[in-house]
Structure 1
Amino acid sequence: GSLPKPSLTVWPSSVLSAQSNVTLRCWTPEMGVDFILRQGETNLSVLQSRESTEGLAEFHLNDLKGSQAGEYTCEYYRKGSPDISSQRSDVLLLLVTGYLPKPSLKIHQNHKVSARGNLTFQCQKLDPLVQPVMFALLKAGTSNPLQLRGPEENGVEFSLQNLTVGDTGSYSCVYYQSSPPFLASQPSNHLEIWVTVLAHLSSSDYTTGNLIRLGLAALIMVTMGAFLVEAWHSQKESPNTS
């Protein structure tokens, strides 16, 4: 039988420009195993496990080239008679940008939107290629595309629902070939989006607020009354100077 599949993750991002550096991390809870990284069906690297790795292998791809774009998987195996291999990880698509003209990215709303609202991006391909391509919505600081759409010839729309403050950030999009050689465009210009929180008071909030205001008003009236009574007593006890 085979061992459970590992997870394959990427840092800093699965969409990078040429000449960037990237690290692919293959992880499993199993101990004392060796790892294999594949691009498609080609074995790229075999990493011997060490006690310090504890089921984690890091494969470093430096000075990225367009030929390194593609679908990556990893697996691990335990040496024995015979060796026992794991299932392959889920596919991780690595894109190297800059080989096709950049698309445009637009929104129809204001760049400042309210929390719990929706936001629609339109990513449009501007070059004359008629071959259907895939589109990816990117956010700065995230390691993988937020959404994928396609294949389409000219453009797609991406929709973000029920926005939160965490959706604030810088967005861009790319398009790419969905089969080898996986050529990808330059990223679009970035759009800065701000998600703001508006105070929405319910009826219970209004009731609570009214009670607080009434309580403060009563406290002020009592305090003023106490001052008036004290002033009256002071005037009554003072000697008549007339």
Structure 2
Amino acid sequence: VSPPLTACLFVNPEGSLPKPSISISPSGVIPMGGNVTIRCQHQHLGMRFLLYKAGDGNYLTYTDPAGSEAEFPITSARREHGGSYTCRYSNRTGPAAYSEPSDPVQIIVAGEGPYPTPAAAALPTPCLTSVTAPGADVTIRCQGQRRDVRFFLYKAGDRNPQQQMDPAGDGAEFRIPTVGRQHGGIYSCSYRPQSEPFVSSEPSEPVQLVVAELSYPKASISLRPSRWVTLGGAVTIRCRSRHQNMRFLLYKDGNPNVYCCQYSIRLDPPVWSHPSDSVELLVAGEGLGSVSLLPAPPPVTPPGRLDFTNANIAHLALGATVLLVLGLILAEA
């Protein structure tokens, strides 16, 4: 009599182990060519760790660490390293058993080339100063050169973005209503193309926002010489207050030719004045941003005084050469 047949069913238990934790160091946006490490950890020993990237059908790599933590280093980060990553672990021997996948983490690579650095400015007052009173509304404007991008606003000390926005144009305005002292700090912005969400522009130049009392009257501001200056000339911007031993700050308005100033006491926390009125400085002469693109007119030479400009010196030299040649010809004749 034949022995009874025994059916054996082997099950590959996907997700039968709890998911590991995952982290990135350093976190935030990674500069092009920088190094980053993906770290996975769980509570079991003798496990194999596998690293996955979203969009790839299989795991990228694996490692068999001695302990309960695995590191996956990425050196000289490039744009293709940007993406969403997860990890999981499995036993090395016996029937295969896999953990649940970890939560995803993102690697954002900041690159140059087609993604120019944006410009940022704080708009708490008409003068565009970065000092504003508590309770005011502040707008930080981020201006890029591309459309179809997502803008991100960051505050120094926090790698997670404060706000993000998908504007219709090539700029975004981040509004911070009713600011308090906790909103003071240094801000910057960047953007990511909609078509490449894991590639970022370089961060903008930092913008410092100071939230303080505006108790002193506004300063007076003036130019010497007033308003007009020739290209290459000198000009002095004078800011005055009725108080002694103050710290003065000079600002440029949204227009590159417009200035204003503000002062404060040298204590911590400082008390600030209201911003001054704006003054406009116009530059006459050649060059980008000047009032006129025509050459500056030649200086007027008073009667009876020789004009030793470069052009006249050249004319005199040419005339002397002609006379010398004529003299030599007459002498030979």
Query: For this structure pair, what is the TM-score category when the shorter chain's length is used for normalisation?
Result: 0.5 to 0.7
Deviation at 1:18, TM superposition (A): 0.9
- Structure with a larger share of its residues in helix: 1
Corresponding residue number in structure 1 for 2:286: none
CA spacing shift, 1:165–1:178, aligned 2, 3 Å: same
Q: CA deviation at 1:31?
A: 4.2
1:66 matched residue in structure 2? 79
| Residue 122 (structure 2) pairs with residue 103 (structure 1) | no
Distance 1:36 1:162 in 2: 47
CA deviation after TM superposition for structure 1 residue 178, in Å: 3.8
Question: Hey, what does 1:204 align to over in structure 2?
Answer: none
Aligned AA (1:125) = G
Structure 1's 79 and 178: CA in aligned 2 closer, same or farther, altered over 3 A? Answer: farther
Partner of 2:144: 125
| 3-state SS in 1 of match to 2:80 | helix
The answer for the alignment partner of 2:20 in structure 1 is 6
CA gap of 1:153–1:113, structure 2 versus 1, over 3 A, is: same
Which deviates the most, 65-74 or 189-198? Answer: 189-198
Cα distance in 1 for partners of 2:116, 2:156 equals 20
Closer, same or farther in 2 for the Cα pair 1:49/1:183, shift >3 Å?
A: same
TM alignment of 1:1-242, pairs within 5 A:
2=15, 3-42=17-56, 43-51=59-67, 55-99=68-112, 100-109=115-124, 110-113=129-132, 119-127=138-146, 130=147, 132-150=148-166, 152-160=168-176, 167-180=183-196, 182-195=198-211
Distance 2:160 2:55 in 1: 22
Q: Give the corresponding residue for 1:215.
A: none
Q: Is the 8 A contact 1:95 1:184 kept in 2?
A: yes
> Which segment is superposed worse, 163-172 or 6-15?
163-172
User: Structure 1 residue 104: deviation in Å?
Assistant: 2.0
What are the superposed Cα offsets for residues 181-221 of structure 1, whole Å, 9 maximum, x if unpaired? 743222211112345599xxxxxxxxxxxxxxxxxxxxxxx
The question of whether the paired residues in 2 share the 8 Å contact of 1:21 and 1:63 is answered with yes
8 Å CA contact retained: 1:167, 1:195: yes
Shift of 1:94: 1.5
Give the conservation status (yes or no) of the 8 Å contact 1:104–1:126. Answer: no
- Is the contact between residue 122 and residue 209 of structure 2 (CA under 8 Å) also seen in structure 1? no
Higher relative contact order structure (alpha carbons within 8 Å, sequence separation ≥ 6):
1
| Cα 1:41–1:107 shift into 2, 3 Å | same
How far, CA to CA, are the matches of 2:205 and 2:72 in structure 1? 31
Q: Do the aligned residues in 1 keep the contact of 2:33 with 2:75 (CA within 8 Å)? A: yes
RMSD across aligned positions (CA)? 3.2
Q: TM-score, normalised by structure 1?
A: 0.64
Query: What letter matches 2:141 in structure 1?
Result: Q
> What fraction of aligned residue pairs are identical, expressed as a percent?
32
Q: Distance in 1 between matches of 2:70 and 2:182?
A: 31
Secondary structure class of the residue paired with 1:145: strand
Segments of 5+ residues of structure 2 without an aligned counterpart are 1-12, 215-333
Q: Distance in 2 between matches of 1:88 and 1:116?
A: 45
Q: Report the CA distance between 1:61 and its aligned residue.
A: 1.3
